[in-house]
Structure 1
Amino acid sequence: MDEQTERTGWPAAERRQNLGLRAAFADAFVMIEPFFDPENGWGGHSLEHLAYRIVRDNFPALSGEEVHALVVAAHRVYIERNPDRSGHLPHPSELRRASL
């Protein structure tokens, strides 16, 4: 039983709107996490722009907006998990939408 159910007696309502995208996130993150790592950069720059191609190639059913949302979410998760190795990355809100 989760915390919400224990407190109120009612299960929490699902707030996520795109469960398919949520399901793809774990697999996509494993594929694109290396592009955020500073050791894999080129000339002091990260390679997150390549993450878009990897996601598009491996998840062809996703729309351009979904690909962008997934890469931005993965970028944000990488920063949260690796605060000492993410100073080279721009803030997720600064990510431009790649031409999809």
Structure 2
Amino acid sequence: MDEAEAGSPARKGDERRHRLRLRLLFDGAYAMIEPFFDPDQGWAGQPLEHLAYRIVRENFPELNAEEVHLLVVAAHRVYIERNPDRSGHLPRPEELRRVVFRC
């Protein structure tokens, strides 16, 4: 596994961000799971953000559980930032618990 895949910057000084592979997947993952954060898409007033984990896991099987969690939490945070008036029903990102997948 090379440094970019391991989550390290490509070269010291060039890139300060980590997990570049996840950053490349983020836009696609966000587009898939954004509807689960929308209050109009809930079931009996309950948000469906827990289904985001399943969608990410099914569409990106190469990701481990930690990477799936990181993508969902990042998408959750972005949704709240982009939709402050439509995100009061969601728990704060730091309140999200890890979902454990059993095969």
Give the TM-score normalised by the residue count of structure 2.
Answer: 0.83
Name the structure 2 match of 1:48.
Answer: 49
Matched residue SS, 1:90: coil
Q: For the residues of structure 1 that align with 2:58 and 2:92, how far apart are their CA atoms?
A: 25
Deviation, 1:13, is 2.8
Q: For the residues of structure 1 that align with 2:78 and 2:50, how far apart are their CA atoms?
A: 16
| Structure 1, gaps ≥5 residues long | 1-11
Superposition misfits of 4+ residues, deviation over 6 angstroms: none
Q: For the residues of structure 2 that align with 1:94 and 1:43, how far apart are their CA atoms?
A: 22
Which of the pair has more CA radius of gyration?
Answer: 1
Q: For the residues of structure 2 that align with 1:92 and 1:13, how far apart are their CA atoms?
A: 29
Name the structure 1 match of 2:33.
Answer: 32
Count of residues in correspondence between the two structures: 89
Percent of pairs with identical residues: 71
Q: Give the residue type in structure 2 aligned to 1:76.
A: R
Q: Give the residue type in structure 2 aligned to 1:44.
A: G
Q: For the residues of structure 2 that align with 1:43 and 1:15, how far apart are their CA atoms?
A: 43
Deviation, 1:35, is 0.1
Quick check: which one's helix share is greater?
Answer: 1
Name the structure 1 match of 2:81.
Answer: 80
Q: Give the residue type in structure 1 aligned to 2:68.
A: V
Mapping 1:1-100, distance limit 5 Å: 13-100=14-101
Q: For the residues of structure 2 that align with 1:87 and 1:54, how far apart are their CA atoms?
A: 23
Q: Give the residue type in structure 1 aligned to 2:44.
A: G
Q: For the residues of structure 1 that align with 2:19 and 2:92, how far apart are their CA atoms?
A: 24
Which protein has greater RCO, CA pairs closer than 8 Å, 6+ apart?
A: 1
Query: What root-mean-square deviation, in Å, do the aligned CA atoms of Structure 1 and Structure 2 show?
Result: 0.9
Give the TM-score normalised by the residue count of structure 1.
Answer: 0.86
Matched residue SS, 1:57: helix
| Structure 2, gaps ≥5 residues long | 1-12
Q: Give the residue type in structure 1 aligned to 2:20.
A: L
